[in-house]
Each structure stands twice: as structure tokens, then as C-alpha cells.
A and B are shown apart, each in its own frame.
Chain A
């Protein structure tokens, strides 16, 4: 693809320095697989994109190292670098680009992001703290982490013990909510999967509409107080997500 097209599609203004011309460099997206399907519709054609596996979340330190390597490889070449993540158990704390800006939604995780706001998350947890959320992104990666953990446990411990372990893991969950994300393409099969999981763990099943508006704003460059923007050389800190 010709470079000029890529640049034209992804040039983003710098709201921190409105007098300056927009960055002459193209933007890049580094994102978790859980949200790529929802981000794609917003991405200008030719935007450089790197998708990272969900499973790295199990060890936040390893996820951080992986993301830092991805940033280092893009640093100075692209600007801004969008991070399709939330705080994710501090996995993003400490990330830095020396010659590019980093922009990331100011959220604990993708569930809050797909629900649309922190308040929406608070409301959901107030009505039922024991809620397990699923989205297409989770299901699409070959089953969500807990449920694939079960398959691993069966292989290691046998059906009976694995059952005991998974029931222990799920013991405080009462409700499974399938969030219908805006660009979900496999609604019927996801619904079937989510239903089956709810039945399997005796959880009340509910569906609700999600939104990808937050992600749209990320790519469009409308970085209000729902985003964290750090300049070149500035580290992402926990306080950016909590202040």
C-alpha cells in the first residue's frame, strides 16, 4: 500500500497543542484481541495494527513487557500510538514511548469500555456484584479465559477434580451477562455459547447492548477526560487512571 494513503487515513490532530499542525506521522494501533473487531470499523484504511493475545493478561508483568516491545518497535515511526487496552491490572502502568504519544481509554478494563462508562459498570455491579461478563471478543478467541482454563484442568486433573476446581472458581458468580457489542458478527453462535456456559455454571443469563463509542472516539482523536494521553518520554501511571 502506498505510504501517502496510509498517512492520509490516520493523521490525528494533537489536542494538547492545537496550534501545532497535526502529527505528520501515521497512527498505529496496538490492541488486545478482545477489542479488535470493535475497533476495525473505526480504523482508517491502512492503519498499522498489531493485535495481542488475550491470554497474556494472566501475567500482567509479561503483558507489560510484550506491549513495551511493541511500542519500542513503533516508537518515533508512528504517532500517536493507540493502546486498545484499559488499566488491565496495571499491565499498562510504566509503558512509555520516547518519541511518540500514547493514547489509551481511561478504564479498568474492556468490560467497562463496552458497557460505555464507569457509572454503567458501577450500576451493573450494584445490582449484582457476582456478574460474569462475556463479549464476542472473549468468545471469539476460542472461549473465554476461565472456561478454557477448565479444559486445561480436565486434561491435567481429570473430569471430576476439574469440575470441583471450576466450581470453586465460579462459586461467587450468580449472573452471566452477554454484552452485544455494536459490531458483533457472530451473535447467534455467541449467544448459544453464552447460554450454554450460563446453564453449565447455573448462572442467571442476561443480555445487554454494549457500545463501541468509546473506541470510536479513541481513533477519531476526540480525547476528552475519558482518555489518558501521555507525551513522548512520559510514563503511563496508575494515577492517570484513578485521578
Chain B
């Protein structure tokens, strides 16, 4: 197993200290930070699969987010100085009236690990905050999460406000969360919907990375 494979494996096994040690070691050995990030992305994808298959639980996903955050703190400065460009900006949040963040955090982490700059607005996000975040960041992707069917109204309100602000033509909108499907997507006025974090990454790449 080479250094990068070791990183993937340690992260997939949720070995916090070992992952961080291996990342530092790889940097010292001169492995390009982009490759180290790639190894971590593979580890995160493996974690997603283990959750799907029932081997990992919610606390494990949170743990993976914590480790990935620390890896990001080590790699980010190197990636920036190394000329690594972000794939694009995404504004993300759980709509107002809903405080569920676990699913949202998983998507945010996966988007970050895939190379997107994510402006995470948190939970119970007021309509106006979504709009101003889009205006200030210039992001062209908006992601909204909600776990109850009650969230549909808030999603619709937010999209109407994005339209009223004159941004709708410039912004791709995805929604996700337990009760969402294609009909809900159409009803609230979003462009696409997703069932899991991989789908969110796929959509963001479709929209922001022309080659995909």
C-alpha cells in the first residue's frame, strides 16, 4: 500500500490521528497536496458506501466530517498557494423552520471534498439570508435541505425570493432531504433534486464543471 492508499484507508476506517499523521507525512515527502486531497476524497466516498451498507452509523459520518475538516485545515493553505482552483461556489443550508443538519453537513462535506467552495449557512436559514449569500458570493449553485414535508413551503418561498432578486436565471437550484422527489422539485421550482451526497456532487459538477 503506498502513502496515498494508506491515507484513504485510514480515513475510511475513521482513524483520526493516523489519518492526520499520514497526511502530514505525505506533505513532508513532497506528495502534491492535490493528490493527498484526492486520497481523502476516495476515503470519504468509501465512508459513504459503508454507511449505505449499514456498516457505519450517523455518528461515524459526523466523525468523518470532523476528520475531513482537520485535513482541510492542513491542506487548504497548500492547495491555494499551489494554484489549486476551486471548482465553483455553492451556497447551502437547511431551510427555515427546520434544524436538521446531519444530512446537510454530509452533503456540504462531500461537496467540499470534491473541490467546491461551499458557503454553509447552517440550519433554520431565513429566506433573505439565502438571497444575500448568493448576491455576496456570486455563487451559481444553491442547495437547500429539509427533512419534513413542512420544509417544502420554505423551499418554495426561498426560490420565489431568488427569482424576485433577479437571480433565478443565474443560479442552479438543487433540493434534498428525506421527503423530496421529482414532483416536489417541480412544485417548489427547483432545477434538480437528490437522494444522497453523491448526487449533490454530481449535479454541482454538471453545472459548474463544463467537461462533466
Contact = CB atoms under 8 A, between A and B. Distances in A.
B99 A173 contact: yes
B57 A152 contact: yes
Nearest to B103: A89
A125 interface: yes
B58 interface: yes
Contacts of A241: 149, 179
Q: Dominant SS at the B interface?
A: loop
Q: Dominant SS at the A interface?
A: helix
A150 B59 CA distance: 8
Interface string A164-182: 1110110111000000000
A129 B99 contact: yes
A213 interface: no
Interface in B67-111: 96-99, 101-102
Contacts of B127: none
A149 B66 contact: no
B159 to A, nearest CB: 17
Contacts of A89: 147, 178-179
Nearest to B150: A122
Given A108-B149, A125-B97, A130-B99, A168 B54 contact: no
A126 B154 CA distance: 13
A171 B148 CA distance: 19
B6 interface: no
Interface in A82-96: 87, 89-90, 93
A156 B15 CA distance: 11
B183 A238 contact: yes
B152 interface: yes
A169 B58 contact: yes
Nearest to B98: A129
Contacts of A149: 57-59
Nearest to A121: B150
B124 interface: yes
A216 interface: no
A149 to B, nearest CB: 5
A220 interface: no
A236 to B, nearest CB: 13
B184 interface: yes
Interface in B142-175: 147-150, 152
A96 B193 CA distance: 24
Interface string B35-76: 000000000000000001010011110110010000000000
A172 B179 contact: no
Contacts of A126: 97
Contacts of A129: 96-99, 123-124
A108 B99 contact: no
A5 interface: no
- Give the residue among B59, B98, B184 with the most A Cβ atoms within 10 A: B59
Interface string B168-206: 000000000011010110000000000000000000000
16 contacts: A108-B179, A118-B150, A125-B97, A125-B98, A129-B97, A150-B59, A152-B57, A153-B63, A156-B59, A156-B60, A157-B59, A166-B59, A169-B58, A169-B102, A238-B181, A242-B149
Given A87-B149, A90-B178, 18 more contacts: A59-B52, A59-B54, A89-B178, A89-B179, A90-B179, A108-B150, A121-B148, A125-B98, A129-B96, A130-B124, A153-B57, A153-B63, A169-B59, A171-B101, A172-B101, A238-B181, A242-B152, A242-B184
The 6 A-B residue pairs whose C-beta atoms are closest, nearest first, are A89-B178, A172-B99, A153-B59, A165-B59, A130-B99, A129-B99
